[in-house]
Amino acid sequence: MVSETDKGRRGEFLAAYILETYGIEVHHVDRAGADLWCKVRDSIVTVQVKSTSSPSPSNKHTSVPYYAFRTQRPNADWYCFVALDRELLLLRPTKSIETATVRFSPSEFNEANQRRTIEEMIDNC
C-alpha cells in the first residue's frame, strides 16, 4: 500500500513534469504550505500540490464517484490538484478555494482542462 507521503511526492513530481512541458521552470521545495516554486515569465509562483490515486466511490450524498482533495489555506498562490490514475492535473488560485474539501468529477480531469488551467496560471503572472 502506498503511504500518503509517497502519494503526495508522486503528485509533486508529476505536476513538476507536466508544468515543465509548458515551459515553466519548476523547483521542488519542502516548505510548509508550498511544494513547488514555479518561474513564470519574471514571477515566482508558489504551488501547493494535492494528489489522489483514484476517485472516491459514490456514497449516500452522491450517486457518482468524485475526486476529493482536502484543502487548507496554504502559504501558496495556486493549488495543483493531481489525479494520479489519469496522470492529469488542474490548477486553481488559492483565493478561489473556500471549502475544506474540493471535489471534481472524473470527467473534469482531461487534457483540455489541464491545458486551460495551466494557461490561466501563466496568464495571471
**Global confidence as pTM:** 0.93
pLDDT at 61: 65
Q: How far apart are CA 3 and CA 18, in angstroms?
A: 23
pLDDT at 97: 94
- What CATH architecture applies to the domain 4-123? 3-Layer(aba) Sandwich (3.40)
CB 76 within 8 A of CB 34: yes
CB 54 within 8 A of CB 88: no
Each domain of the chain, given as residue ranges in start order, spans 4-123
- Spell out the per-residue pLDDT of the chain, length 125, in tens: 678 888 899 999 999 999 999 999 999 997 777 999 999 999 999 999 999 999 988 666 667 899 999 998 778 999 999 999 999 999 999 999 999 999 999 999 999 999 999 999 999 98
pLDDT at 23: 96
108 phi, psi to nearest 5 deg:
-70, -25
